[in-house]
């Protein structure tokens, strides 16, 4: 974040003051609401996809600019597109023509090949590798070290387990893992309650 001054972080989970943190705890949502959106920008540092989306919506409603942060130790092709609020961690690679949505996390050492599309608020975990043309849906999570072969589609809100090898399309709202990855269960409310869909 060359040229930026980092003020601290905001978090509702910690009561102020908290000691032994690398940056000062500024407060939570109430603190943000008391400050002017013109005074600073906000970067999202929340791992849970749904919580990150909710926080982004809260910040937008308060008038804050949610900024995109790219580590200087990441490689991003000039022809890739990064949505607002996306965080690209050290050692990750985003190749030509990739379209990264809003509020996405591309975590440490992840590889996003050419023409990949990552839906809003998705999360690609450390050392996951996505082949060319992969499409990952909104709020989806690709686990630690997972591999997705080229041109595969992963549905909205689906979870790919750590170390999985995805060789076929994955539907919306499911959890899949294994080598090759197989759908293990659905996360839709009807499926979880035993109702027929």
Catalytic-residue membership of 114: yes
DSSP 122: -
SS3 content of the chain, % helix, strand, coil (to 5): 10, 25, 60
Predicted local distance difference test score (pLDDT) of residue 197: 39
Q: Which residue has the tokens 């080598």?
A: 179
Q: Longest Cα pair distance anywhere in the chain, in angstroms? A: 55
The DSSP H or E segment spanning 166 is strand 165-166
- Which one of the listed residues 50, 114, 123, 127 is annotated catalytic? 114
Predicted local distance difference test score (pLDDT) of residue 196: 45
Predicted local distance difference test score (pLDDT) of residue 132: 98
**Torsion sign over Cα 64, 122, 155, 98:** positive
Cα-Cα-Cα-Cα dihedral of 183, 185, 187, 193, to 10°?
150
Domains, the chain, ordered by start: 9-61 (no CATH), 69-180 (2.160.10.10)
Which conformational region is residue 171 in: left (phi greater than 0), alpha (psi within -120 to 50 degrees), or beta? Answer: beta
Structure tokens at 169: 């399309």
Compute mean pLDDT per 10 residues along the chain, 197 residues long, and list them: 72 66 80 84 90 93 92 97 97 98 98 98 98 98 98 98 98 97 88 49
Predicted local distance difference test score (pLDDT) of residue 36: 84
């Amino acid at each position: 974040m060359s040229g930026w001054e980092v003020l601290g972080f905001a978090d509702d989970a910690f009561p102020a003051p908290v000691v032994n943190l690398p940056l000062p705890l500024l407060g939570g949502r109430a603190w943000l609401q008391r400050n002017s959106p013109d005074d600073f920008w906000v970067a999202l540092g929340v791992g849970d996809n749904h919580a990150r989306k909710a926080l982004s919506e809260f910040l937008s409603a308060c008038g804050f600019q949610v900024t995109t942060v790219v580590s200087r130790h990441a490689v991003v092709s000039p022809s890739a597109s990064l949505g607002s609020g996306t965080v690209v961690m050290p050692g990750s690679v985003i190749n030509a023509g990739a379209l990264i949505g809003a509020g996405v996390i591309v975590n440490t050492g992840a590889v996003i090949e050419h023409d990949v599309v990552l839906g809003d608020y998705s999360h690609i975990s450390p050392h996951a590798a996505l082949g060319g043309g992969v499409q990952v849906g909104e709020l989806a999570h690709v686990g630690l070290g997972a591999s997705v072969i080229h041109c595969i589609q992963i549905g909205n809100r689906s979870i790919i387990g750590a170390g999985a090898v995805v060789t076929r399309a994955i539907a919306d709202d499911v959890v899949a893992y294994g080598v090759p990855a197989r759908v293990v269960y659905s996360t839709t409310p009807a499926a979880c309650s035993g109702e027929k869909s």
